[in-house]
Structure 1
Amino acid sequence: MSFKKLTLAFSLLTGAGTLPALAQEQGIHQQSSQYEAPTDPLVKQKLEKWQDQKFGLIIHWGLYAVPGIIESWQICSEDWIERDSTVAYEDYKKWYWGLSKDFNPVKFNPEQWASVAKKAGMRYLVFTTKHHDGFNMFDTKQSDFKITSGPFKDNPRSNVAKYVFDAFRKEGFMIGAYFSKPDWHSQNFWWPKYATPNRNVNYDIKKYPWRWNQYKQFTYNQISELMHDYGSMDILWLDGGWVRPKETVNAEVRSWGAPIPEFSQDVDMPRIATMARQAQPGLIMVDRTVHGPYENYQTPEQRVPAHKIDNPWESCLTLANNWGYVPNDTYKSPTKVIHSLVEVVAKGGSLLLGVGPKPDGTLDNEAVTRLTAIGKWLEVNGAAIYNTRATDKYQDGSTYFTQGRKGARYAIACLPEDKAAPATIEWTGNAPKKGSKMTLLQTGKTVKWTRSGDKVRVTLPTALAQQAGAYPALAFAFSAE
């Protein structure tokens, strides 16, 4: 079947967002409940700096952008994944991997991405150097399956990751490299001798340790390239938590429902970490869901935790329905993202928002519009978000609380979308000091407040009620008791 016909067949099969929605549920990374704090002073220092940033961008960009389908997962043979039943599985994999001959992002403009992200109020980046499909968005010397070997190879910016990192670094972002521990294109992970029944390595590592050792060295070498050849790095963000030492597979991990083999898929994280931190002192390592010394912060995916979490963490959410670019995707409103950001920060976390560039290398206009709107809110209200920490009482209904380092307390009232601001806002707890001033960050002016028992009532300026939906949330600064 031709490329165009096959793409159309999958579009008709999945519909707008149907398969990605399923994939987000089944391919989702859970959150481990255990946390082990780092002991390296440099890591602790960088982790503290990262906790000040609060709002980051994760970019998924790879072969999957060409037909506009979910990232990597359609080449995984698990029963929750739907494909056209008239196309043989092996033929589908060949077609998918063959997209490397069509991926030619001639309008690649990382400076535009960085500029939009900065205007959105984002402060750190996580860029996908390689997803599970094994296609490398950097000029690795370990494989020819990379952006620098296809039609984009003669472009002066063909080493995509380098220019992405450089562009965001120039805008003052902390820099993170996403790297998938599983590599489904590698013959040392999915050996062509056997079928590929699921997301795991498809041969018995105990029977063929030499092959797995080759894969471990391949993984080490690729991460070494990223740590030594791409400038200053702050975060190594490792995805694919099913690739893990068997001793870390406990009852909690089994309850997540992902297929778990009876052998260890250990890539030797101590060796990787030692090398990476020699090259990048203080590097934050995020070995997702593999609780222990190399999961320096936790990463609940496509959800906000129900309660405050005291250790470092981030919620990984998408701006649209998908991590990568899917045509006609449904975007979240700026108000919804702002409310999620407020809730996440109040509960002690950071928000990592996913945006996928188009196959030509540009951002979708709708994504730019919504990110810009989020940034306009943060430009005025950022003091209640950046450099803050959680309070003991972090929420009262739709009002959330944060605290600054110098004793400032913030109340952030999330307002209903498309409705005008009310005349007054009330909350319980986190009361201002008697006789102190309260400032509305939206205007920079003081507002009147009263207290009755444990309840605080704030009177808003009448001008705020004139335009429905103009204020996703109102933030108040005060000195708490």
Structure 2
Amino acid sequence: MSENRLAEQEPDVVEQGVHNYSSEEQWVKPEEPLLLERLEWFKDQKLGLMMHWGPYSQLGLVESWALSDVDEEWSRNEIDWDIDAEELKRQYFDLNKTFNPLRFQPEVWADLAADNGFKYLNFTTKHHDGFCMWDTHTTDYRITGPDCPFHTHKHADITKAVFDAFRARGLGISAYFSKADWHTPYYWAPGMKPGTTTSRGPTYDPKTYPWLWERFVEFTHEQIMELMTRYGRIDVLWLDAGWVNDYREQNIRLGEVVERARKVQPWLLSADRTVGGPYENLITPEQTLPERALKVPWESCITMGSAFSFRYEDRYKSVRQLIHLLAEIVAKGGNLALNVGPQPDGRLSQTAIKRIQGMGEWLNVYGEAIYGTRICEPYSVGPVQLTCKGDITYAMYLYKNEQERVPEELELPLHTACSRIDLVGGQDRLEYRRSEQGVVVRLPDTERQRAEAPIAHVFRIR
């Protein structure tokens, strides 16, 4: 896609911290054979663990966004102490001085993910607030900085500890990195405009202060290259803050640094989310999933609880809801990056652990209908989600709740010839007949006599 066409597009939309996502038309197919191969690898994975974690976890509030005055209406609605905006920002930026997650156990996280069907990790190395969860040389505002009490811990370089642990269990690594940075004076510059209302963008016009903007570009490139050269193999560079892009006023010359990174890691996929063009190899819906199947690589990032950051007494989705999300996303051609916010002490909540284990129990039996599959028409029809692998089609019939009645027969929207239908995890060679809408399958007596409806009945069709 040309730069001119991208420049003509509507501005990036962020609604209460949730981004829109690019259309299929904005996706540009890479030319490099290795990147095409890696996109197929990515499409095989299906389930990733996403983690938003930083000093903000101590408050149990939304990450970063309360710093932006233009977002105060929704991002500060849970702030219940009587301080003005400037004092709030000062207190927020001082959270590094109390962040001390002494119960951080990266190997426990990695084992939990690997043992329960997760295939890759997407970890926030830096959110918009600018706090670096790695041992950067660019700023003292980091997990290993002298003001952070955790800096003497054996796992002080949290990003290294997490990446190493997950990589050792065979999981892929996706590095979340915010292109915006609300802490560095190169982006939110002190004294540029007295009384300036903070927003998502810089506090100055890059065209008016090109030398300052260039400092920010160099700062950003250096941080990205630290991650790309000092933290082992990275499979995806997952770039947030779509308002910072090369086609508007905030040109950080992203292509330049991605190509530098690919000289070190030639397999690197880039997710320059909501921007489109050659460096958005993956489309990334957030807290939603497309209404129809997409035929380009995509990944929906959805929270297990109510938000990306840790919440005290959060409301978590049930295992049934999570599996249903995964099944529909996969049927529409995508991956699910399921976000879990670690606690400020470095542990995952017991509820999150139980949900992950519950998903693992289901995937251990029915994962063949999920992993390594591709889309097949008609994709997703009501409660039925279809996937395929080679000459095998899978149909997942989802039950809304435990109380739903399990019928004697289920109708599946299959219009291709079939010679055999098996119940995954159950009886082989089920009885079936053709119908106008597809195929009607008779369930075994043992399934109809269940006291509760299962999460899904999964059929293997040859």
Pair in the same fold by TM > 0.5:
yes
Quote the residue 2:142 is aligned against.
146
CA distance in 1 between partners of 2:454 and 2:110 (Å): 26
Measured against aligned partners, the alpha-carbon deviations of 1:17-70 in whole angstroms (never above 9, x if no partner) come to xxxxxx994211101122111111111111110100011111000011111111
Identity of aligned residues (%): 42
Q: Which amino acid aligns with 2:95?
A: L
* Alignment partners' CA distance in 1, 2:352 and 2:102: 20
CA displacement at 1:370 relative to structure 2 = 0.7
C-alpha contact 1:431 1:456 (8 A) present in aligned 2: no
Structure 1 residues 361 and 463: alpha-carbon distance in aligned structure 2, compared to 1, 3 A threshold: same
1:441 aligned residue: 424
Query: Is 1:316–1:353's contact at 8 Å kept on the other side of the alignment?
Result: yes
> How far 1:285 moved relative to its partner?
0.2
Alignment match, 2:166: 168
Q: Which residue of 1 aligns with 2:317?
A: 332
2:5 alignment partner in structure 1: none
CA 1:466/1:454 → structure 2, altered by over 3 Å: closer, same or farther?
A: closer
Corresponding residue for 1:407? 391
TM-score by length of 1: 0.88
Query: Residue 350 of structure 1 aligns with which residue?
Result: 335
Indicate the SS of the match to 2:222: helix
1:278 aligns with 2:274: no
Q: Please, which of 68, 88, 99 is the counterpart of residue 92 of structure 1?
A: 88
Maintained 8 Å contact 1:57/1:117: yes
Which residue in 2 is equivalent to 1:32? Answer: 22
Contact 2:167–2:173 (CA<8 Å) still a contact in 1? yes
1:332-370 Cα distance to aligned partner (Å, 9 max, x none): 011111111111111111111100100111100000001
Partner residue in 2 for 1:45: 37
Query: In 1, Cα distance between the equivalents of 2:130 and 2:452?
Result: 44
For structure 1, the residue ranges without an aligned partner over 5 or more in a row are 1-22, 248-263
Alignment partners' CA distance in 1, 2:117 and 2:453 = 18
Indicate if the aligned counterparts of 1:123 and 1:173 stay in contact, CA closer than 8 A.
yes
Alignment match, 1:7: none
Does 2:117 align with 1:133?
no
Match of 2:7 in 1: none
Deviations 1:371-406 (A, max 9, x none): 1111111111111111111012112221011110x2
Deviation at 1:469, TM superposition (A): 4.4
Q: Distance in 2 between matches of 1:214 and 1:466?
A: 68
Q: Compared with structure 1, are the counterparts of its residues 373 and 205 closer, same or farther at alpha carbon in structure 2 (3 Å cutoff)?
A: same
Query: What residue identity is the alignment partner of 1:59?
Result: M
SS state of the match for residue 83, structure 2?
coil
Alignment CA distance shift 1:61-1:274 (3 Å): same
Gap change, CA 1:372 and 1:24, over 3 Å in 2 = farther
1:118 CA drift (Å)? 1.9
Give 2:435's aligned residue: 452
1:260 aligns with none
State TM-score, norm by structure 2: 0.92
Structure 1's 239 and 399: CA in aligned 2 closer, same or farther, altered over 3 A?
same
Change over 3 Å in CA distance of 1:266–1:415 after alignment to 2: same
For residues 210 and 66 of structure 2, what CA distance do their matches in structure 1 show? Answer: 28
1:230 match: 231
Preserved CA contact (<8 Å) 1:393 1:430: no
Report the AA paired with residue 30 of structure 2: P
Assess if the C-alpha contact under 8 Å between 2:14 and 2:20 holds in 1. no
Verify the 8 A CA contact 2:28 2:278 in the aligned structure 1.
Answer: yes
Q: How does 1:7-406 map to 2 (within 5 A)?
A: 25-33=15-23, 34-79=26-71, 80=73, 81-82=75-76, 83=79, 86-149=82-145, 150-193=148-191, 194=193, 195-247=196-248, 264-404=249-389, 406=390
- Shift of residue 233 of structure 1? 0.7
* Aligned AA (2:381): D
Change (3 A) 1:340 1:469: farther
SS of match in other structure, 1:78: helix
What RMSD, in angstroms, separates the aligned Cα atoms of the two structures? 1.7
Where has structure 1 moved over 6 Å in runs of 4 or more?
none
Residue identity opposite 2:55 in structure 1:
L
Go from structure 1 to structure 2 and tell me whether the alpha carbon gap of 1:457 and 1:171 turns closer, same or farther (over 3 Å shift).
Answer: same
Matched residue SS, 1:362: coil
2:329 & 2:392 partners in 1: Cα distance? 19
- Equivalent residue letter for 2:323: I
Q: Is the Cα–Cα contact under 8 Å of residues 179 and 237 in structure 1 kept in the other structure?
A: yes
Note if contact 1:391-1:401 (Cα within 8 Å) is conserved in structure 2: yes
Secondary structure of 1:298's partner?
A: coil
Gaps of 5+ in 2: 1-12
**Is the 1:432–1:478 Cα contact (8 Å) retained in structure 2?**
no
Cα 1:444/1:116, change in 2 over 3 Å: farther
Q: Check conservation: 1:442, 1:474, Cα contact below 8 A.
A: no
- Render the CA deviation track for 1:132-184: whole Å, top value 9, x for unaligned: 00011000000100111210111111000001001111111111100000000
Aligned counterpart, 2:445: 462
Q: CA offset at residue 466 of structure 1?
A: 4.5
User: C-alpha offsets along residues 406-442 of structure 1, whole Å, 9 cap, x if unaligned?
Assistant: 2111111011211253322112334442xx2211112
- Determine the structure 1 residue equivalent to 2:454: 471
The Cα of 1:204 is off from its aligned counterpart by 1.0
Q: String of CA shifts for 1:221-278, please: whole Å, max 9, x gaps.
A: 000000000001100000000111345xxxxxxxxxxxxxxxx101111111111101
